[in-house]
Structure 1
Amino acid sequence: MNQLTLENIIAKRHWLGLFAIAVSIIAWTVELMGAVYVCPYCRTQRTVIGLLGIIMILPFIHHFLTKYLALVLGFFGAVVAANQHFMGWKKISAGKFSFNENVFIDPFLLSGGALFFIIGLTALILHTQKPSS
């Protein structure tokens, strides 16, 4: 049985939601410890990822208001991530781009990853259907 079908991923959405919450908590912890610089773009993205993770574990994820909230949060987070990511492309075009010394905290790579994650979480929430009785 193929585990990467949309139906299987949606059925196990609780684990993905918990993973998103963990990512958000770890990212906030790293900033609050002072290991990375304060960035309003990053703060927005990690908060949206955590909130979408919470929505994914809610029992009433199927309600249209929950989906609407997820769509608004997801759109907001995706716009912020896209703006931050585009600043990297702008530097590439100007010939001034360089990766961060520590590639694991590079804003270009992290904003691209956040963009993929936020859009993926939002799409999964929107595709979640109420189980038929």
Structure 2
Amino acid sequence: MILENKDMDKIIDLSCKLLLNRHIVGSSILLVVLFTLVVDVMGLVHPCPYCRTQRLALGVLAIIMMLKAYHVLLARYIAAVIGMTGLVVGIMQNFNHIKKINKGEFDWAGLWIGHPWILSGLAVMALTWQLLLIFDADKQSPRRG
């Protein structure tokens, strides 16, 4: 079955609407955060302070995204502080793995979706997306005219 341009346009429009919906994105990320929290509490993974900090930031931003008053100054201030903390930790974790690559100590054979380098990269992308949605980066500024 070959998709026509109209069908592709509909698929793209739907995916854009889903990715720009604060409630859908926030609840999806919150589900992932809760799942990883359960896995961590059960002791099924190595306790990682980087991961826990990023998980806290993802969870707090997800809760803020689902609030009606996500746009008030206090919510945005909390989102900025906690979100940037999570971003700094995630980027620091990524660069620690890049240091291993430069030293020749990186285990390329162990690279898969559960690898900390991949997971921290995904966390950085999710945190950035959450901050963009909380600060309404998808909406045009009224000052632009």
Q: Normalising by structure 2, what TM-score?
A: 0.79
Q: Please state how far the C-alpha of 1:103 moved relative to its aligned partner.
A: 2.8
Q: 1:51 is matched with which residue?
A: 60
For 1:91 and 1:70, the matched residues in 2 are separated by 31
Structure 1 residue ranges (4+ consecutive) displaced by more than 4 angstroms after TM superposition = 99-102
Query: Alignment partner for residue 126 of structure 1, among 110, 113, 135?
Result: 135
User: For residues 29 and 78 of structure 1, do their structure 2 counterparts lie closer, same or farther at Cα, with a shift above 3 Å needed?
Assistant: same
User: Are 1:84 and 2:93 an aligned pair?
Assistant: yes
Q: 2:34 is matched with which residue?
A: 25
Contact kept, 8 Å, 1:20 with 1:52, in 2: the verdict is no
User: For residues 126 and 22 of structure 1, do their structure 2 counterparts lie closer, same or farther at Cα, with a shift above 3 Å needed?
Assistant: same
Question: Which structure has the larger Rg?
Answer: 2
Q: Please state how far the C-alpha of 1:85 moved relative to its aligned partner.
A: 0.8
For structure 1, the residue ranges without an aligned partner over 5 or more in a row are none
User: For residues 8 and 38 of structure 1, do their structure 2 counterparts lie closer, same or farther at Cα, with a shift above 3 Å needed?
Assistant: closer
Query: Alignment partner for residue 106 of structure 1, among 99, 107, 115?
Result: 115
Q: Normalising by structure 1, what TM-score?
A: 0.86
For 2:121 and 2:110, the matched residues in 1 are separated by 18
For 1:120 and 1:105, the matched residues in 2 are separated by 21
For 1:112 and 1:119, the matched residues in 2 are separated by 11
For 1:42 and 1:55, the matched residues in 2 are separated by 20
Contact kept, 8 Å, 1:99 with 1:106, in 2: the verdict is no
Contact kept, 8 Å, 2:22 with 2:66, in 1: the verdict is yes
Q: After the TM superposition, which of the residue ranges 119-128 and 50-59 deviates more from structure 2?
A: 119-128
Once the two structures are superposed, residues 3-48 of structure 1 have per-residue CA deviations (whole angstroms, 9 ceiling, x without a partner) of 344x7644x2111111111111011111111111001000001111
Q: 1:3 is matched with which residue?
A: 14
For 2:40 and 2:27, the matched residues in 1 are separated by 20
RMSD value, Cα: 2.0
For 2:26 and 2:100, the matched residues in 1 are separated by 34
Q: Please state how far the C-alpha of 1:105 moved relative to its aligned partner.
A: 2.6
Number of equivalenced pairs: 127
